[in-house]
Each structure stands twice: as C-alpha cells, then as structure tokens.
Amino acid sequence: MIVITKISDMQKIMNEYRLERKTIGFVPTMGYLHEGHATLLREARRQNDIVVLSVFVNPLQFGPNEDFERYPRDIKRDEQIAQEAGVDVLFYPDVTEMYPRPLSVQVVVRERVDVLCGKSRPGHFDGVATVLTKLFNIVMPTRAYFGMKDAQQVAVVDGLIRDFHFPIELISVPTVREEDGLAKSSRNVYLSDEERKEAPALYEALQKAKIAIENGERNPAAICSLIEDHIKTNTHAVIDYVEVYSYPDLTPLQRLSGRIIIALAVRFTNARLIDNITLDVN
C-alpha cells in the first residue's frame, strides 16, 4: 500500500493507472475507520483493479458548535485496516494541502439538504460537496463507494455526480449491522450498558414499518407514528426525527409510492444515533 500526502503526487499516480486502463474504486472518508468503512473497501476491492482510500477530516463540514479539533483521529489504525482490506493507495493530505488559500469557489447544495440531519446542520453538505468535488478531480475514480447508513449523504452525492457530469459510478453499500440489528457506528461506544440493550429497538421499529407497508399501509403519518410508539415504548431515547420521503429526491409524500426512505434519529445520554431503510413501494 502506498501512502500519499501531496495532491500533485496523487494526480501523477492516478494518471498512470488510467493510462494503463485500470478501473479505480474510491472510498472517501474522514478516517477513524470501522467495520462499515472496511465493508466499502472490500466492495471496492471486489469490483476494481485499484482501490483508493482518502482520509481527510474536512473542516468545511463542521458548524460553529461542532469541534473540528476534537474529531477522533487514529491514522496508524486506519492504515492497518486499509491494508487488511486490500487498499492500494491511501491519500492522507492535511488541511493546508487541500485548502492552501481561501476558496474563491465553493459548491452550494440546494436540494435534498433541508430535511433529516441536514435540517440541523446548515452548510454541512456544502462542505461535503465541495471537498468531494476536489477529491473526485484529484482521484478521478471509475466508481465511488458510500454507505447507506448516511443515506442523505448518498442522495447529495448522487445529485453532485449527476449535476456536474462526473464520469463516476456511484455505488451505495447497505448499512453494516451488529447481530442484533443495531447499525454499526463509532458512536455506539458512548452508549451505556442499558442504552446498548435498548438501541436495537431502532431497527426493530423500522422493520415494523416495513411490515406495515407490505401489508398495505400507505399513509406516511401512520408509519411515523408506528415507529415513534415502538421507540418510546422500548427505549429511554429522545426522538430527534422520524421522517418518510421519496428517495433519492427526499421530497415529501402524501401517499407512499415508488422508492422511499424511512429515516430516524434519536438521542441517548451521550450518543445521537441515526438509522434508515429504503423500500420500493408498488
């Protein structure tokens, strides 16, 4: 595995791979890798000649009340996970390499951001889209891999690739779960023992909603109420939101049809957890 920190070196080696007609799978991350990231890397390894991982904690994604400095970092552990997953190139730039001067142009996301987690994080997805535009131009991958755990981010990336005509195939990878259904997340370690026992109720609630839809329920409000009731009955968590939208457009629905997303966010004492499922409703 090659570790590269400079954009010019990265572009040089990527050009060489493309001249050799190699397919390039790209997994962009902010590091502190876990099993979810490893799953993305293994999928990229399966489908491509070359696998590229980027580790960059992007300051543009952090709001005024979000501490960029405290974001967890462990590059040595990341390198080990990357190597085990078969990564060929690890791109690990610092902030001054990615942003050597104030930006004269920045990407602004106008759709798919005023719902779900985007509601409470204004400007967050502008930062995501801006850094991905830079990374896509540096790496120029054949395919880019994102986890459906953050389905709103996948929807935003879908719009970015489509609107800016990036010749990149977006691969969305299903959420990686623990045996009891809880979505894997670095935040799970902040749950108390009691909260960890309660947390699988989030996925249980989503599965109850899925069964209700399969049995003919088409009212979004009824689906949300079903989920909220299950969470309130089985956990001490505070519900941030339970929402149902079309997917990937993330527009409201009067009646469920087509591809939809059912998403939720809850707060335990020291952890905010998100989860979702997507369904095709006939």
Query: Rounded to whole angstroms, how far apart are CA atoms 226 and 57?
Result: 37
Query: Rounded to whole angstroms, how far apart are CA atoms 197 and 234?
Result: 10
Sequence ranges of the binding site for beta-alanine: 61
Sequence ranges of the binding site: 30-37, 61, 147-150, 153, 176, 184-187
The amino acid at residue 277 is I
Sequence ranges of the binding site for ATP: 30-37, 147-150, 176, 184-187
DSSP-derived letter for residue 47 is H
Residues carrying an active site annotation: 37
Contact 74, 32 (CB under 8 A): yes
Burial 39-54 (b: 16+ CB within 10 A, else e): bbbbbbbeebebbbbb
Query: Rounded to whole angstroms, how far apart are CA atoms 268 and 195?
Result: 7
Sequence ranges of the binding site for (R)-pantoate: 61, 153
